[in-house]
Protein backbone atom coordinates (compact mmCIF):
# COMPACT_ATOMS: atom_id res chain seq x y z
CA UNK A 1 0.00 0.00 0.00
CA UNK A 2 1.35 3.39 -0.94
CA UNK A 3 1.65 6.34 1.42
CA UNK A 4 -1.21 8.25 -0.21
CA UNK A 5 -3.55 5.26 0.09
CA UNK A 6 -2.53 4.73 3.71
CA UNK A 7 -3.16 8.39 4.58
CA UNK A 8 -6.54 8.34 2.82
CA UNK A 9 -7.54 5.19 4.68
CA UNK A 10 -6.44 6.72 7.99
CA UNK A 11 -8.36 9.93 7.26
CA UNK A 12 -11.51 8.01 6.32
CA UNK A 13 -11.33 5.95 9.52
CA UNK A 14 -10.99 9.13 11.58
CA UNK A 15 -13.98 10.66 9.78
CA UNK A 16 -16.09 7.60 10.50
CA UNK A 17 -15.77 8.17 14.22
CA UNK A 18 -16.43 11.92 14.02
CA UNK A 19 -19.80 13.67 14.27
CA UNK A 20 -21.05 16.22 11.74
CA UNK A 21 -18.27 18.42 10.40
CA UNK A 22 -17.69 21.90 11.77
CA UNK A 23 -17.67 24.99 9.57
CA UNK A 24 -13.85 24.83 9.51
CA UNK A 25 -13.95 21.21 8.39
CA UNK A 26 -16.47 22.11 5.72
CA UNK A 27 -13.92 24.51 4.24
CA UNK A 28 -11.49 21.59 4.11
CA UNK A 29 -14.08 19.54 2.22
CA UNK A 30 -14.10 22.13 -0.54
CA UNK A 31 -10.59 20.85 -1.29
CA UNK A 32 -11.60 17.19 -0.93
CA UNK A 33 -12.22 14.81 -3.78
CA UNK A 34 -15.77 13.83 -4.69
CA UNK A 35 -15.20 10.28 -3.43
CA UNK A 36 -14.08 11.62 -0.05
CA UNK A 37 -17.17 13.83 0.26
CA UNK A 38 -19.39 10.90 -0.71
CA UNK A 39 -17.65 8.73 1.88
CA UNK A 40 -18.31 11.31 4.60
CA UNK A 41 -21.97 11.63 3.61
CA UNK A 42 -22.32 7.84 3.61
CA UNK A 43 -20.67 7.62 7.03
CA UNK A 44 -23.17 10.16 8.36
CA UNK A 45 -26.06 8.18 6.79
CA UNK A 46 -26.98 11.12 4.58
CA UNK A 47 -28.47 10.20 1.22
CA UNK A 48 -27.40 11.88 -2.01
CA UNK A 49 -27.72 11.31 -5.73
CA UNK A 50 -25.00 9.09 -7.12
CA UNK A 51 -24.55 11.46 -10.06
CA UNK A 52 -24.31 14.60 -7.88
CA UNK A 53 -21.49 17.02 -8.66
CA UNK A 54 -19.01 18.21 -6.06
CA UNK A 55 -20.85 21.50 -5.47
CA UNK A 56 -24.13 19.64 -4.90
CA UNK A 57 -22.48 17.22 -2.46
CA UNK A 58 -20.97 20.12 -0.52
CA UNK A 59 -24.40 21.74 -0.33
CA UNK A 60 -25.94 18.51 1.02
CA UNK A 61 -23.18 18.35 3.63
CA UNK A 62 -23.73 22.01 4.53
CA UNK A 63 -27.48 21.46 4.94
CA UNK A 64 -26.84 18.42 7.16
CA UNK A 65 -24.54 20.53 9.32
CA UNK A 66 -27.17 23.23 9.57
CA UNK A 67 -29.86 20.71 10.57
CA UNK A 68 -27.49 19.14 13.08
CA UNK A 69 -26.80 22.48 14.75
CA UNK A 70 -30.51 23.30 14.88
CA UNK A 71 -31.17 19.90 16.46
CA UNK A 72 -28.50 20.51 19.09
CA UNK A 73 -30.04 23.89 19.90
CA UNK A 74 -33.50 22.33 20.23
CA UNK A 75 -32.19 19.62 22.55
CA UNK A 76 -30.32 22.08 24.77
CA UNK A 77 -33.43 24.25 25.12
CA UNK A 78 -35.46 21.25 26.29
CA UNK A 79 -32.86 20.06 28.82
**pTM over the 0.75 mark:** no
What is the predicted pLDDT for the residue at 52? 94
Instruction: Provide the mean pLDDT of the chain.
Output: 77
Looking at per-residue pLDDT, the higher value among 4 and 74 belongs to: 4
Looking at residues 32-44, what average pLDDT do you find? 87
Q: Please determine, for residue 45, whether its predicted confidence score (pLDDT) is greater than 80.
A: yes
For the chain, what percent of residues have pLDDT higher than 90?
Answer: 15
What is the predicted pLDDT for the residue at 71? 57
Among 24, 19, 10, CA closest to 45:
19
Amino acid sequence: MGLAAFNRMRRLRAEQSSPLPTIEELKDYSKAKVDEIKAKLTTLNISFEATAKKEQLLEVLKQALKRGQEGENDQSEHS
